[in-house]
Amino acid sequence: MKYSKILKSLSFLLFISFSTNAQEQELTSSSDKRMLPLRVSYYGENGVHPGLRVGTSYLLHEKTKVKIYKRQAKQSKKGSKTKYIQYKLDANLGYYNHPNNHTGVLLGLGVTRHKNKNKKKVSFAWSFEVNYLRRFYNIETFEILEDGSINTINLAGNGGLMFALAPSIERRFGEKGTLLFLKPAFQAVKYNHSNFLNAAVELGVSLNLSK
Amino acid sequence: MKNLSYILFALCFCVVSCSKQESETFDHFFFRSDDADLFVEVNGNISSNTFILLLHGGPGGGGEGYNEGYYVDELEKDYAMVYLDQRGNGASTGDYDKESLTIAQNSRDVYQLTRFLKAKYGDDISLFLAGHSWGGLTTCHALVNTEIQSELKGWIEIDGAHDYILSDIEAIKLFQEFATVEIAAGNNLSFWNPVLETVNAMDTLNITDEDQGYLNSTAFEAEKVLPIADPELADSGPPYNLDSPSLGLAISSANSIGNVILNDDSYTYALTDRLGEITLPSLFLWGKYDLVVPPALGVSAFNLVNTTEKELVIFEASGHSPMSNEPELFVEEVKDFVERYK
């Protein structure tokens, strides 16, 4: 039952993402759309529980906004401001280790809005992610049966959907468009009897391997 | 690609971490009980075949907070200490409903754990159940509501809150007594004068939530101005441990919410009237200056349990935690009791 809910949620997100993509096809360049960068990052659950996250992103839509100042003097002094905005669909797989407790495995999709002004090297982004988080205990789990015998529960753990809102700052390097990014995430995660706020931080790179 | 290799290597290096492994003196595991996965750590002399299952206080504590200091070092030399994080506390987790956050469920969990400990370490082990503060309520509830007495050699209650309502009433009386003496002696008047005024205004037949909060927080403040020992032996260890199984924002948030639920539920059990159902050898350890759970509860429990094999020890220089205030005497009393009945 739980798994069907998760599949439905992920399918819905994919459907929305690709629908949007279909509508905006003409607005984006076909060369950009082919780029599927590899994103590799340190994933720190609560900052200190170390993990690794890999993923890629797919350009859904991009637009450019040019701001021209109404006052001639200001326009000639400062020039036009150009904002480049991109919407990307992200797919990620990751894990982390909480010592003496559990290893978390995350599978997620997200949408990120990247904003860059005047093609500067530093840009900012906001992501909304839906992940399925499965926790596998690092230590053995037992139960006692009615007859008094011990049952060892294999792959014991728990899990659930995790929603995350994550601002990030990115710095572009070199010709290939390699990005270094720092991305703290604020998460709503199923734990025990309800959903609670959690946090994580990612520090990683995005590499354009296809170029 | 070379850069990528370096990055991957560095990230993998970061991710590798160590955790303690099972040994003759250390074991830890999750114990599943009614959809909760309870974190259990067993430290000490496992081969002694004598186990003390210690329930932490709170709600809001965890076994980790008790697994440090002189008294555990000494007890672990001779016995295996079992530290359980009760449901909704510490690193205990699981996929359970909010409705199962009750003292009744916690005591069922404890009973199941005692059965498990016997199945894992041998049916011939000597098992004692100990509870400090709020943990005393869980132990007492388990003793009178489950079959746990048949699994145990003895009960050790350390400043245990087996009757929240009685505890509040006795706390008001004790505050009045101490405040009167201290004011007469001219000690810490700025602290005791307002305390006396506040507790005098409380109605023992109608103690409000606000009163309960005041009594609890002021009881801990009072320990700073009462003649309570604070020996260097009572080392509380490092302030924060990155290897802690209960370190995390979601964990602490969930426990905070769970603790409110458990605290409210704790007020629904006044177990004084049922102490006569306890027939086990019993040891009651109480701090003379415990204003959180006053010694009057230890005295009444000592009088009411249905056994002649019982002892009450009032620690003359202790507050709510005699194991920290007078650890040497505490260890002596526990060892004496365990050796007698194991």
* Chain A nearest CA to B245, separation (Å): 5
Give the SS3 label for residue A56: strand
Which of B178, B201, B222 represents a domain boundary (last residue)? Answer: B222
Q: What is the DSSP string of B15-40?
A: H-------BTTEEEEEEEETTEEEEE
Same domain for B200 and B296: no
3-state secondary structure at position B63: helix
B15-62 confidence digits (pLDDT tens): 444 444 556 778 999 999 999 999 999 999 999 999 999 999 989 888
**pLDDT higher than threshold 70 for residue A172:** yes
Do B97 and B149 sit in the same domain of this protein?
yes
Residue B143 and residue B95 share a domain: yes
* Shared domain check, B196 and B61: no
How many domains in chain B?
Answer: 2
The residue segments making up the domain with residue B182 are: 167-222
Q: B229 — phi, psi (to 5°)?
A: -70, 145
Residue A1 has pLDDT above 50, yes or no: no
Q: In terms of domains, do B205 and B89 share one?
A: no
Mark whether B27 and B83 lie in a shared domain. Answer: yes
Judge if B91 and B201 occupy the same domain. no
Give me the CATH number covering residue B292: 3.40.50.1820
**Are residues B159 and B177 located together in one domain of the fold?**
no
Which pLDDT belongs to residue A74?
78
A189 - beta bridge partners? A162, A196
pLDDT given at position A21? 38
**Within this chain, do residues B97 and B127 fall inside the same structural domain, yes or no?**
yes
pLDDT, tens digit, for every residue of B239-293? Answer: 567 888 989 999 999 998 999 999 999 999 999 999 999 999 999 999 999 999 9
Minimal Cβ distance to B15: which of A51, A140, A142? A51
C-alpha distances in angstroms, B284 versus A17, B298, B329?
A: 65, 6, 13
Tokens of B87: 């449901």
Same domain, B49 and B140: yes
Whether pLDDT at B312 is above 90: yes
Does B237 share its domain with B303? yes
Name the helix (H) or strand (E) containing A81.
strand A81-98
Q: Please tell me the predicted confidence (pLDDT) of residue B133.
A: 96
ipTM: 0.87
- Do the beta carbons of residue B128 and residue B147 sit within 8 Å? no
Residue B154, phi then psi, degrees to nearest 5: -175, 165
Q: What average pLDDT does the segment A75-93 reach?
A: 87
pLDDT in tens, A138-150: 999 999 999 999 9
Residue A210 pLDDT: 67
pLDDT tens readout for residues B185-236: 999 999 999 999 999 999 999 999 999 999 999 999 999 999 999 877 655 5
- Cα–Cα distance measured from residue B72 to residue B142, given in angstroms and rounded to the nearest whole number: 24
Q: Of the residues B222, B245, B264, which one is the last residue of a structural domain?
A: B222
B151 and B90 belong to one structural domain: yes
Chain B residues close to A101, C-beta within 8 Å: 39, 91, 245-246
Q: How far is CA A2 from the centre of its chain?
A: 22
- With cut-offs at 50, 70 and 90, classify the pLDDT of residue A127: very high
**Cα separation of B141 and B222, whole Å?**
29
Give the whole-angstrom CA distance, residue A100 versus residue B18.
9
Per-residue pLDDT, A20? 38
The predicted pLDDT at position B108 comes to 97
- B112–A144 C-beta distance less than 8 A: yes
With a cut of 50, say whether residue A28 has pLDDT above it. no
Interchain contact, B33 vs A48, CB within 8 Å? no
